Structure 1
């Protein structure tokens, strides 16, 4: 029996610790970044681009290949391939060493292209992290708003339940009529239904938060208030991750033009081989040897393809400038609009808080008058409904303001 009591006590402590556990916004942000497959994919693409750079270097080193071939062309009853062409039979086995010579500037241009690709991927990681943070913070704020609604409705239910016991005694003492008590009881039941609804809504929003963060946990915990402050962007606009890609695209187009120019320059390659190459006729055992050679190629006329490639790059540059100019206008408008909306919400929340004080004071006065029987039940219900409306309005506006700050902070990096 003693062990059963101890186990029950430990179980009670475990449950109490689970109910008292809270999670913060940073917990979810860290989990979301850690679990994101997109961020892992982009990081792997950066590693792959680094391997491409090493592969290009290896491609311009001496290349060694081994090859072997044999051929036999029989002549049967004077029918067969001409021996002067086929030699009847051949056998060779060679080891060839070859190397292409290119200008250092061309090699640097290729490395620059890969470097720009890596920089673009790094910027994509920052953009993806920023998108992920905005999504997680937005859902966290939504879940916190549902939690606040649940807490507030629980407060209303507790208040009405406490007054219900008092009203029941006063009704039995004929201070209030039975109809007054029933009217109050209907209000209490409605508050209890709203509480159940807000609990369900918080569970739904909390589960969505776990889903977006990649957290496989069905337990429900309370979350702390998101401490969001407006981030003042002091960096230059061109240094922003949202404008960085336009800068990288511009450099990439310049580098692409260089690569086109280099592709029309002369190319030199040399080779050397050694091994066995014979037609297996007289003194075939002496057909071991070696050879060296080179090749030079230079484009003379390509039908005007070079000019067409230049024109394509010019069109791409013009498109890139148009997109950048349009996004710059949108960016400015978005920042100004968000700052203006946040300022308006600050004023509105201050007004609601002022009105909320009066509504809260009225509830306290009404509960005191109820104890002496000097209050109409209809007045108490009206005061509770007004209090509920103002509190819900305050919560909604606070949540909306936090969402706007989240949007503003998104553009500040």
Structure 2
């Protein structure tokens, strides 16, 4: 009795929780993309790369204005004139303890420095192309993540549809058993069948009821997992639309999975170009202006400015550039190896999916033939039962086999759809 109450409660909860609001696969895929934190992360990285391009422009091309200053005091203990005293910033002295005032004396500097790079255009252009490549890498990562989400959500959605189909199958079996129960009741009353035959049908109804309950529980679990995967928090009653997937025909012969390796190669080459540009001559124009004094009398007379050029050119660096080039070659070989392995795996996955899809198609055709034979046998058995020539046990045995075949058929259909989803994922 407790088990009966439990199963009734589970079914009531499932029916109460999921109702008539129709939702399709596209709804869940779009919701998953919207709520994915990783996609938001990639989008933010792209925006950061765009901001980085403007920062590099400011570093290599635009001028810079700095406000700076320095105040230095040199205290001494003076004994000039036979009197000992502490001077916090002496300008001169002959008899004292402290730093040599001829070598170090207090001074004050306050002003600004304006600097304008004159040869930064090449370095900026190389750095700009590097940031564009890095932004393209993030965009490609976003595409890969969206593609992965589409596959994951599709697979979870198909599992929900499988449970839904099994529930529908249990309902159809219940209706068949109810019809047979009415027929058997009439035959029992006519003395053709025994009361135990009715008990057998009751047992089958209870077993079918348990299968339906298990399917509903699985449906509830899979749908809850689908909502979690997509970031859906509402508890609206839903009815999932059916979906029928087909292998997608690809026009582009090159897999888009290989795009990430092309971008990685470009990024390595761009890093090397930026590294080499530090060996180009660097020329900056600067202007300094402000106050600079070491004697604090007539401070106002020491306001001034100066200007000049700074030049630097790296002639020898201990062969750092050579080692950097060798590192790039190793990175390129590694990327090529990953690319070849990815191409191999991609082709093998597609071949495997196509081969298994063909086998599933053959098995589905065979099951269709079996189900047709089962229908014929059940019709003949029912006629023989009415004539008293066949027992209900034989009918139930065949019915059980048919139900199992129908469950296998539904499961095979879902597995084939999952294979199509996997093939479309790799054939991208």
TM superposition score normalised by structure 2: 0.87
Aligned pair partner of 2:144 in 127, 135, 144:
127
The match for 1:47 is: 47
8 Å CA contact 1:342, 1:401 repeated in 2: yes
The match for 2:241 is: 224
Aligned pair partner of 1:186 in 178, 195, 203:
203
Aligned pair partner of 1:245 in 239, 242, 260:
260
Runs (4+) of structure 1 exceeding 6 A deviation are: 15-18
The match for 2:8 is: none
1:82 equivalenced with 2:100 (yes/no)? yes
Alignment of 1:331-342 (within 5 A): 331-342=346-357
SS at match of 1:263: helix
Give the Cα–Cα distance (whole angstroms) in 2 for the partners of residues 201 and 268 of structure 1. Answer: 71
SS at match of 1:76: strand
Alignment of 1:206-221 (within 5 A): 206-221=223-238
Q: Closer, same or farther in 2 for the Cα pair 1:214/1:398, shift >3 Å?
A: same
Deviates more, 1:172-181 or 1:387-396: 172-181
Aligned pair partner of 2:418 in 382, 398, 403:
403
1:236, distance to aligned residue in structure 2 (A): 2.9
Deviates more, 1:21-30 or 1:212-221: 212-221
Aligned pair partner of 2:193 in 154, 173, 176:
176
1:19, distance to aligned residue in structure 2 (A): 2.5
The match for 1:70 is: 71
What is the total number of aligned residue pairs between the two structures? 396
The match for 1:293 is: 308
TM superposition score normalised by structure 1: 0.90
Alignment of 1:116-155 (within 5 A): 116-155=133-172
Give the Cα–Cα distance (whole angstroms) in 2 for the partners of residues 85 and 94 of structure 1. Answer: 24
SS at match of 2:243: coil
Unaligned runs of 5+ in 1: 1-14
1:371, distance to aligned residue in structure 2 (A): 5.4
The match for 2:343 is: 328
SS at match of 2:304: strand
Give the Cα–Cα distance (whole angstroms) in 1 for the partners of residues 260 and 399 of structure 2. Answer: 55
Q: Closer, same or farther in 2 for the Cα pair 1:284/1:316, shift >3 Å?
A: same
8 Å CA contact 2:18, 2:239 repeated in 1: no
Aligned pair partner of 2:399 in 371, 381, 384:
384
SS at match of 1:84: coil
8 Å CA contact 1:91, 1:277 repeated in 2: yes
Aligned pair partner of 1:273 in 256, 268, 288:
288
SS at match of 2:248: coil
The match for 1:5 is: none
Deviations 1:85-123 (A, max 9, x none): 333x32221111012233533221111110000110110
The match for 1:358 is: 373
SS at match of 2:242: coil
8 Å CA contact 2:17, 2:235 repeated in 1: no
Unaligned runs of 5+ in 2: 1-14, 79-95
SS at match of 2:65: strand
Deviations 1:210-249 (A, max 9, x none): 1111111345533121121110111031xx3201011112
Deviates more, 1:345-354 or 1:372-381: 372-381
Larger radius of gyration: 2
Give the Cα–Cα distance (whole angstroms) in 1 for the partners of residues 367 and 186 of structure 2. Answer: 36
